[in-house]
Amino acid sequence: MNPVVLDHITKTYENGKVLAASDVSFEVASGELFGLIGPDGAGKTSLFRILTTLLLPDKGNASVLGLDCNKDFEEIRRRIGYMPGRFSLYQDLTVKENLDFFATLFGSTLEENYSLIKDIYEQIKPFNNRRAGKLSGGMKQKLALCCALIHKPEVLFLDEPTTGVDVVSRKEFWDMLKTLKQQGITIVVSTPYMDEAMLCERIALIQTGKILTIDTPGKIIAAFPVPLYAVKAKDTYRLLTELRKRSEIASCFAFGDYVHITLKDNSNESQTDQLKQELIQAGHEQFEIKRIEPTIEDSFIQLMSQTYGR
Amino acid sequence: MKQFLVFIRKEFFHVFRDKRTLLIMFGLPLVQIVLFGFALTSEVKNITLTVIDNSRDLNSRQLTDKIKSSSYFVVNESNIDYNDVLKLFKKNEAKCALIFPSRFGDDLKHNGKAQIQILTDGSDPNTAKTVVNYISNITSAYQQEISNGKPLEYVITPEPRMLYNEEGNGSLNFIPGVMALVLMIVSTALTSVSVVKEKELGTMEILLVSPFKPLMVLISKAVPYLILSLLNIIMILVLAVFVLDVTIKGSIILLFLESMLFIITCLSLGLMISNTTNSQQTALLLSMMGMMLPTMIFTGFMFPLENMPKVFQWISNIIPSRWYFLIIKAVMLKGLGFGYVWKETLILFGMTVLTLTIALKNFKTRLS
Amino acid sequence: MADKVITCKNLTKKFGDFYAVHNISFDVSQGEIFGFLGANGAGKTTAMRILCGLSYPTSGEASVAGFDVYTQQERIKQNIGYMSQKFSLYENLTVLENITFFGGVYGVPAAQLKERSRQLIAKLGLTNEAKKLVASLPLGWKQKLAFSVAIFHEPKIVFLDEPTGGVDPVTRRQFWDMIYEAAANGITVFVTTHYMDEAEYCDRVTIMVDGKVEALDSPGNLKSRFDVTSMDEVFYRLARNAVRSGD
């Protein structure tokens, strides 16, 4: 049996008015690095809380390590590691005090599983006597990860560990996750950053409580149904408004200084040449159009439109 | 067990590293004792004293003159009778009165002792007490004078009577009152805030997910504040004894045991509050408004309960601090033993069991 | 070149011995979308506070909308709009109440206020929600409304502080459409953020590291200069050796 199983989970708040999870099912295999990708308010945190036995679903069953999240919550709590979103530790305790506290709380010691956290801990060890509140965002996150790992959990749940953390620290954090994965720990991680999806083995894209798709990032990208083009011109805003008016364009979204478009009719390759000519004639400078590989963000947008008919 | 100890140590770190908590915890009782102890019993000057001299002899006149010459009183000599004085008090036109009985001088000369009566308005107990003290002092100076330094030949016994509040509530009573108030703040407000803080920080999620039993989380939160509250009691008592010259008449052990009971009531109230809210602000507001205000109003240490409307008196029965106040007053100031306070103790005990049960029952092992 | 609406020359802000902002210089043109990037603690917020007229620099020169940051702070405040992801609207006021409140605060004439509020609500497609509490709106709508409110009094410059962190990709693009439109109408947009995907949409960006401007160019030029495909990597190259980082 897979270590993490969600089976038709539905969860609402405020007497059914707010839908946090709508018929969500997925499984995470042993030793897998699984990502839950979606914007704020998509329902990621609710799913994490159900899996970590902190919330009961309205409908459906959840199990972790073969144990029922409702009945066997005490056993589950002993065997998992959890880093909640916005988890900020005890600001007024030092690094060492935080670690010792959480180690004891989970019935372990810093020394007992030292090999597991060694790589991460050594980076913050020089600040052992500094209060957690005085650490930088990246350091805090490392400390939090150490605290979550200190009892050698079999499954690790990380809810938005990289939110609000700068790029450098984010990169380091994902490197740490890869190392942990090599030690056989099953990891479920959530993030609102689409670009982090590529760093997971398998991902679920989630939006307003619904799973849009579940697969490896590569397969999700490969499943993009139509050719995707990137268009660029000097005046992006003008390009955007003019492209939106054109009848042959199916979708049109700004991606940085490019605009990604799909066409309604994909049988005729020469359409793009015509588009180019007409827009250059309309006075667009530095015009450029090229076929590109979709990113996860393209897929997300496409799946969102498909699911919600935007 | 080790988890428990580590948890408690952590709580102490929180307390000792937060200047605000420390200030509330140890600064507040200090300020309150000093405030109530000194500021409110400050010197009284130029009080109008109605003197009714039914004797009109040398001694009564000499004593009246002595009082006149002090800076404390403006003497208003009058011929009205006792009942008229009472009317003046009712109309708030007199604050204090001195009455010489009709045979004052005779008594003093022939029996070697005489009495005077001092009437004061007990609804202002601080002033009343001061007035009594001043007149007593002047009287004793006078009797030394007429005894010519010999062992006292003549004794004048002042017989004070406080109208409206004959027990003199408010004089030393504020010390049990401050004890109740401080315990309410430290135990209720600080406990609820410290639990809710964990929720705000997100650490509560970790604590719940850990193998440490959720109930133990609550107990470990409560124990440090129990200890700190006891320290507070010691501090207040030490201040009372050494700074304000209060004598603790009853058993100190009984005092502590009763205080422990009350602290547990307060802690349970604090935990109850923390179960109902997720924000520190709300927790603080609930503790302050919901707990402190009733303590100040309904214990009777600031406003005499007997003078309140029946409804308020009835409400005061469900305020735990009221019973604690009665117990401490009896034990500390009157020197009574457990035999006299067992009823109040039983009521307080019942309240403690009730609040603790509610607090523990409502504590969720999951997030709502 | 278009008018310069923000100019900074050797701008410095010291707290004791600590250089929060160290000798930075840049210009922003009218209608430009200018990204102001940096890790937490790099000095972004300090610099932005100076430009918004909320704090004085220690040395150097700066002017915003033609007004001096030392002597004309009040004039600056009349000519700028501000929106941050954390706070912008009152959740327990309705959509209409928020618009009229902020419009009033920023000095939109009372005579125009009603009509312009109605127009704005119609433009945002919120006619049916006008009397609903802002708290009940989805996050994406709140952000769009917040931005509209920030430019409701037609400021010369609007400062956006991490405006689109955490929203879904479609809403984010709708939001940037609005920013583009505002810029096309001549409003200068000054975005401070540490989300690099927001940086990709800017005309030009500065990257601040340890209080100094380490790079200032268009995202495209920066990417080709470092031969990388995303701003994330540009930032990583520049910031990985940073000494400072805070919260």
CB contact under 8 A, A207 and C168: yes
Question: d(Cα C163, Cα C190) in Å, to the nearest integer?
Answer: 11
Q: A42 CB near a chain C CB, below 8 Å?
A: yes
Regarding whether B128 and B111 lie in a shared domain, the answer is: yes
Residue numbers of the domain that contains B70:
43-163
Look at residue B162 in the predicted model and tell me its pLDDT.
Answer: 60
Regarding whether B185 and B273 lie in a shared domain, the answer is: yes
Regarding whether B324 and B194 lie in a shared domain, the answer is: yes
Q: Minimal Cα–Cα distance from A15 to chain B, Å?
A: 12
Query: How does pLDDT run across A160-218, given as a tens digit for each residue?
Result: 998 878 888 888 899 999 999 999 999 999 999 888 999 999 999 999 899 999 999 99
Question: d(Cα B363, Cα B214) in Å, to the nearest integer?
Answer: 8
Chain C residue with CA closest to A140: the answer is C247
Better-scored residue on pLDDT, C199 or B37: C199
Question: d(Cα C146, Cα C144) in Å, to the nearest integer?
Answer: 5
Strands across the sheet containing C33-38 = C80-84, C157-161, C188-193, C33-38, C204-209, C212-217
- What domains are defined for chain A? 4-221 (3.40.50.300), 225-293 (3.30.70.2070)
Strands across the sheet containing C4-15 = C18-29, C4-15, C59-64, C67-68
Phi, psi of B269 (to 5 degrees): -60, -40
The helix or strand, by DSSP H or E, that contains position C26, with its residue range, turns out to be strand C18-29
Query: How does pLDDT run across B273-308, given as a tens digit for each residue?
Result: 998 888 888 888 888 888 778 888 888 777 767 777
The last residue of a domain, from among B142, B163, B184: B163
CATH code (residue B123):
3.40.1710.10
3-state secondary structure of C17: coil
C48: its two tokens: 């932005």
Regarding whether B125 and B266 lie in a shared domain, the answer is: no
Query: How does pLDDT run across C160-186, given as a tens digit for each residue?
Result: 988 877 788 888 898 899 999 999 999
Domain range list for chain C? 4-241
**CB neighbourhood size of B151 (10 A):** 5
Residue C91 has pLDDT above 60, yes or no: yes
Phi, psi of B195 (to 5 degrees): -70, -45
Q: A85 CB near a chain C CB, below 8 Å?
A: no
Residue C125 has pLDDT above 60, yes or no: yes
Of chain B, the percentage scoring pLDDT greater than 90 comes to 14
Select C4-241's CATH number: 3.30.70.270, 3.40.50.720, 1.10.10.10, 3.40.50.300: 3.40.50.300
3-state secondary structure of C11: strand
The last residue of a domain, from among B128, B143, B163: B163
Q: C221 CB near a chain A CB, below 8 Å?
A: no
Q: A178 CB near a chain B CB, below 8 Å?
A: no
Query: How does pLDDT run across C19-46, given as a tens digit for each residue?
Result: 999 999 999 999 999 999 887 778 888 8
- In a domain? residue B83: yes
Question: d(Cα C209, Cα C1) in Å, to the nearest integer?
Answer: 28
Look at residue B103 in the predicted model and tell me its pLDDT.
Answer: 85
Regarding whether B182 and B136 lie in a shared domain, the answer is: no
CB contact under 8 A, B206 and A54: no
Q: Using CB atoms, which residue from A137, A163, A195 is nearest to C40?
A: A137
Q: A88 CB near a chain B CB, below 8 Å?
A: yes
Residues of chain A with C-beta less than 8 angstroms from the C-beta of B208: 54, 77
Regarding whether B275 and B202 lie in a shared domain, the answer is: yes
Better-scored residue on pLDDT, B339 or B128: B339
Query: How does pLDDT run across C50-77, given as a tens digit for each residue?
Result: 999 889 999 999 999 999 999 999 899 8
Question: d(Cα A147, Cα A128) in Å, to the nearest integer?
Answer: 14
Look at residue A138 in the predicted model and tell me its pLDDT.
Answer: 83
Instruction: Give the position of tokens 């495209």.
Output: C220
Regarding whether B93 and B10 lie in a shared domain, the answer is: no
CA–CA distances in Å: residue A93 to residues A121, A130, A132, B18, B265: 16, 8, 6, 11, 29
- In a domain? residue B367: no
Look at residue B152 in the predicted model and tell me its pLDDT.
Answer: 60
Q: What is the band of B45 on the pLDDT scale with cuts at 50, 70, 90?
A: low
Q: A166 CB near a chain C CB, below 8 Å?
A: yes
Regarding whether B204 and B231 lie in a shared domain, the answer is: yes
Residue C247 has pLDDT above 50, yes or no: no
A vs B, Cβ pairs < 8 A, gives: 79
Beta strands in chain B (DSSP E): 47-53, 73-78, 96-100, 113-121, 155-163
Please report the DSSP string for chain A in residue order: --SEEEEEEEEEETTTTEEEEEEEEEEE-TT-EEEEE--TTSSHHHHHHHHTTSS--SEEEEEETTEETTTSHHHHHHHEEEE-TT----TTSBHHHHHHHHHHHTT--TTTTHHHHHHHHHHHGGGTTSBGGGS-HHHHHHHHHHHHHTT--SEEEESSTTTT--HHHHHHHHHHHHHHHHTT-EEEEEES-GGGGGGSSEEEEEETTEEEEEE-HHHHHHT--S-EEEEE-S-HHHHHHHHHH-TTEEEEEEETTEEEEEES--S-TTHHHHHHHHHHHTT-TT-EEEEEPPPHHHHHHHHHHHHH--
Question: d(Cα C38, Cα B37) in Å, to the nearest integer?
Answer: 57
Give the residue from B216, B366, B2, B210 showing the smallest Cα distance to A81: B210
What does the mean pLDDT of chain B come to?
Answer: 83
Amino acid at B166: E
- Residue A127 contacts by C-beta under 8 Å, 6 or more apart in sequence? A95, A135, A139
Residue B180 has pLDDT above 60, yes or no: yes
Residues of chain B with C-beta less than 8 angstroms from the C-beta of A143: none
Regarding whether B321 and B194 lie in a shared domain, the answer is: yes
Characterize C221-245 residue by residue with b for buried, 16 or more Cβ atoms within 10 angstroms of its Cβ, and e for exposed. Answer: ebbeebeeebbbbbbbbbbeebebb
CB contact under 8 A, A167 and C201: no
Chain A residue with CA closest to B16: the answer is A92
Tally of structural domains, chain B: 2
Query: How does pLDDT run across A230-245, given as a tens digit for each residue?
Result: 999 988 889 999 999 9
Characterize B206-234 residue by residue with b for buried, 16 or more Cβ atoms within 10 angstroms of its Cβ, and e for exposed. Answer: bbbbbebebeebbbbbbbbbbebbeebbe
Regarding whether B286 and B141 lie in a shared domain, the answer is: no
Mean pLDDT of B336-345: 89
Look at residue C181 in the predicted model and tell me its pLDDT.
Answer: 92
Q: A72 CB near a chain B CB, below 8 Å?
A: no
Characterize C109-132 residue by residue with b for buried, 16 or more Cβ atoms within 10 angstroms of its Cβ, and e for exposed. Answer: eeeeeeebbeebbeebebeebbee
Residues of chain A with C-beta less than 8 angstroms from the C-beta of B216: none
Regarding whether B54 and B26 lie in a shared domain, the answer is: no
Which of B7-16, B100-109, B143-152, B209-218 is the least confident region?
B143-152
B236: its two tokens: 């207040």
Q: Which of residues 184-203 of C touch A (CB under 8 A)?
A: 184, 194, 196-197, 200-201
Look at residue A263 in the predicted model and tell me its pLDDT.
Answer: 92
What does the mean pLDDT of chain A come to?
Answer: 91
Question: d(Cα C194, Cα C25) in Å, to the nearest integer?
Answer: 20
Regarding whether B176 and B159 lie in a shared domain, the answer is: no
Amino acid at A149: L
Give the residue from B84, B83, B66 showing the smallest Cα distance to B75: B66
Q: Minimal Cα–Cα distance from A105 to chain B, Å?
A: 5
Phi, psi of A46 (to 5 degrees): -60, -45
Chains C and B: 3 or more CB pairs within 8 Å of each other: no
Instruction: Output the tens digit of pLDDT for each of chain A's 310 residues.
Output: 899 999 999 999 888 888 899 999 999 999 999 999 999 889 999 999 999 999 999 999 999 999 999 899 889 988 999 999 876 689 899 999 999 999 999 888 989 889 889 989 998 999 999 999 888 888 888 999 999 999 999 999 999 998 878 888 888 899 999 999 999 999 999 999 888 999 999 999 999 899 999 999 999 999 999 999 999 998 888 999 999 999 999 999 998 889 999 998 888 778 888 999 999 999 999 999 999 999 999 999 999 988 876 4
- In a domain? residue B312: yes
**CB neighbourhood size of B290 (10 A):** 13
- In a domain? residue B368: no
Q: Minimal Cα–Cα distance from A304 to chain C, Å?
A: 8
Look at residue B163 in the predicted model and tell me its pLDDT.
Answer: 60
Residue B43 has pLDDT above 60, yes or no: no
- In a domain? residue B143: yes
**CB neighbourhood size of A238 (10 A):** 16
